[in-house]
Amino acid sequence: MLRGISPHSAVEMHAHRQSGHGTQSTSATVNQGRKFGTWTCFFMLLELVESQREGIGQRRSAAFFRAVADGIPMPRVAWQLYFRAARLLRFGTATVSLMFALQRLSRARMSLPTKLDRKAVTVLITGAGGQIGYSLIFAIARGELLGKDQPVNLHLAEVEAAMPKLRAVVMELEDCACPLLHKVVATCDDVDAFAGVDVALLVGARPRTPDMERKDLLAVNARIFERAGALLDSVASKDVKVVVVGNPANTNALIAAEHAPSIPKENFTALTRLDQNRATGAIAKRLGVSPADVKGAIIWGNHSTTQFPDVSSATVDGKPVPEAVGDEGWLRGAFTSLVQNRGKEVIEARGGAGSAASAAHAIIEHTRDWLLGSDGATVSMGVYTSAAVGGSYGIPPGLVFSLPLRTYRGGRYEVVEGLPVSEYARSRLAVTQTELLEERSKALTTTPESGAGGGGAGVEVA
């Protein structure tokens, strides 16, 4: 074993080699930079092997080597080798300061808004082998998520038992030869799955079984989303945009956000677009019009049977929906119940399988509008509340609560303020708010972690 050689020595060796060579072309400089990165990481690996005595954990070592990959130019094969080594070995104290310096470098990489239309955007799908994942994967590869000119990389995560099915999906992707699809990573290794992702679609979750109470489902999925949050915090892009689909979606999004302290809370959202689409479709069917004619349906609160589908400010062909329907009893009764319980109805009709195609369609719409902008239209998303987000409607801070929003390119959004809220509506908001507060209280008391791909192909979406 070579001793007395450090990453600093590698820099000196590189500088010595390049002295006296005069002015170089851009391509030569890039190639030499890559060689420098290779030498640097080679000696980092030697130091890593020799200083195993004191460690800081596999998760931090994985984050370190991901930072090396982002901060120092080097061939992909080289950093993959060291990334693997970091998961087997522990860092010595001599390397810790270098680790933090390189992690800071990783935070300065290209942001998602800058990547749009220029660089490949890396999209993660957990539970990718399930029915929702199957619908999502090909839609994203065709450009439906981020546009027909936006190249993408796909990271597909599954539990080990579902990997044969996922490998078959990858074969189909290869057979499609989609021009926008640059790279596919299909894995049951959650660190590899989350590494460097720009958009995380967290579909995988434990489905609720007939003998399972809601509190049990909360506890199981809390562990899955604690792990997901920690992975996002450690190895994903610091500008990552997260869409949580696995139920209970709002509280799972909250858990993931709380376990990713370096990522802004507004980067975490929960899917309620499926509920908005259900409300829009129900009104269109009732009035015998196209869903495109119905504008401004809103979902307040939790993605559960306490949600409040609100069409009091919606219009159909420019006419207020309540006026067009002309039946307040139906809007407060059958309509509300239909939207709240549609997921259960679909599960029963499909013999136990949850919404798949409609869920995937809603995920695409949610993410596309969030990242590319809603063009002034009002959309519903579960977002992290604060005094500025939801406070004007009396929603307490620290929840993931579905609100009416307008979204702007790059992932920015704002709450649609000043909508009329009747006493009846306030009573419905109070019910769904109470449920979310109870879920938060129960879920944030769990501590053990489990794999972030948990739930896999068996995920249920109501």
Q: Hey, which residues are catalytic here?
A: 303
Q: Identify the DSSP state of 207.
A: P
Cα–Cα nearest to 48, from 69, 62, 33: 62
For the record, the structure tokens of 55 come out as 């460690």
Q: Please check whether residue 443 is in contact with residue 215, taking contact to mean a CB–CB distance below 8 angstroms.
A: no
For the record, the structure tokens of 97 come out as 């300061």
Residue where the block lists tokens 């020595």: 9
Q: Please check whether residue 67 is in contact with residue 42, taking contact to mean a CB–CB distance below 8 angstroms.
A: no
For the record, the structure tokens of 106 come out as 């990783």
- By residue count, the chain amounts to 462
Q: From CA 342, how far away is CA 189, in angstroms rounded?
A: 34
What one-character-per-residue DSSP string does 249-292 give?
HHHHHHHHHHT-TTS-GGGEEE--HHHHHHHHHHHHHHHTS-GG
Q: Helices marked H in 350-408 — which ranges?
A: 357-372
Cα–Cα nearest to 244, from 348, 363, 73, 113: 363
Q: From CA 252, how far away is CA 443, in angstroms rounded?
A: 8
Cα dihedral 445→449→455→461 (10° resolution): 30
Cα dihedral 49→53→56→57 (10° resolution): 70
In three-state form (DSSP H/G/I as H, E/B as E, the rest C), the secondary structure along 384-427 is ECECCCEHHHCCCCCCEEEEEEEEECCCEEEECCCCCCCHHHHH
